[in-house]
Amino acid sequence: MITENIILKLTSGEEIVCKLTGNEDSGTYEIENPLLVSSMPKMTQYGIEESVSLRRWIHFSEKTVFRLNKSSILVKADASLGLSKFYEVCVLKMLLESTDDEIWTEPTNEELSELEMDEAIEELDTVLSKTLH
């Protein structure tokens, strides 16, 4: 069963955002579409701000699901709403484009608004289908 988007802080220092799949009771996690989280300073009209980017965690592999030992995880937390939306956009782009070395930067406000609208329509469809049955 797929869970919400989560962020893992690994013993290597890396932070990855992914989905957990499968049973969490064994000594490993099964993770789907892991992307490495990086932050970089970015100059704006208001000064320096941090910009988040996501890139493939494992390059040059066609696999999208990996097993990760629990002993290599320091912290597991739910990803924030903003990071979750950004992650979903990046995973979609990754699956459509399949470019191994691509780095994705923050989506525009227009892309996020479009994603929010799609989610709202999906929720409305779900509510309406439940009330009609």
Q: How far, in Å, CA of 83 to CA of 106, rounded?
A: 9
**Whole-model pTM over 0.85:** no
pLDDT under 50: residue ranges of the chain? 1, 100, 133
* pLDDT tens digits for range 32-69: 999 999 988 888 888 888 888 899 999 888 888 999 99
The pLDDT, as a whole number, for residue 1 is: 45
The pLDDT, as a whole number, for residue 2 is: 52
Q: How far, in Å, CA of 45 to CA of 98, rounded?
A: 34
User: First-to-last CA distance in the chain?
Assistant: 25
Structure tokens at 21: 């799949």
The rounded radius of gyration (Å) of the Cα atoms in the chain is 17
Architecture of domain 5-132: Roll (2.30)
Q: Where are the domains of the chain?
A: 5-132
Q: Note the Cα 23 to chain centre separation in Å.
A: 20
The pLDDT, as a whole number, for residue 4 is: 83
| Helices and strands (H, E) in the chain, number of each type | 2, 7
23: left (phi over 0), alpha (psi -120 to 50) or beta: beta
